[in-house]
Amino acid sequence: MRTSRRVKQSIWYALKGEPQPIYERDDDGNIIYLIIDGEKVPKESGNTTNGIEEPVHIENSIGGNLTQAEIAAYGSQDRDLASMTYPKGKYPFKVGTLIWLNSEIKKLKDGQIDEQSADYTVVGINTTGQHFWRAVLRANAKDEAD
């Protein structure tokens, strides 16, 4: 079930993790530390990151062929669903991973990845295959201006 080179597409993915604290920095960009009970602790700004890692480029194919079980599990209307088959364990996909196929990866004013710019979000991973796994993707709603 290899993907033919002719149908491979240029795809970007970004893993979604836990939000991380943003630390205050001095004029040189170094983290400011406080001494609390004799320990050096970074000074938090009170803001957090959105937890989205930098996007990674891959070559694979996204298609619309889903099984009835996948459609039933992830949505009754398959027009918003797609899938991507890949060799077992090749990619670290998990639920919440963002996928860009046709859209530009956009960043917010603070430099973080704009998750709204992604074309798809991984909603499930089928890991039952002996040699291939399958990510089920849901198309993200886009504004008319996009």
What is the tens place of the pLDDT at every residue in 92-120? 999 999 999 999 999 988 788 999 999 99
Clarify whether residues 65 and 44 are in a common domain: no
Clarify whether residues 59 and 130 are in a common domain: yes
Clarify whether residues 95 and 62 are in a common domain: yes
Clarify whether residues 114 and 71 are in a common domain: yes
Q: Pick 71 or 93 by higher pLDDT.
A: 93
| pTM for this prediction | 0.76
Clarify whether residues 25 and 12 are in a common domain: no
What is the extent of the structural domain holding 133? 5-17+52-139
Q: How far is the C-alpha of 39 from the C-alpha of 125, rounded, in Å?
A: 43
Backbone torsions φ then ψ of 80, nearest 5 degrees:
-95, 0
Clarify whether residues 63 and 133 are in a common domain: yes
Percentage of residues in the chain having pLDDT higher than 90: 51
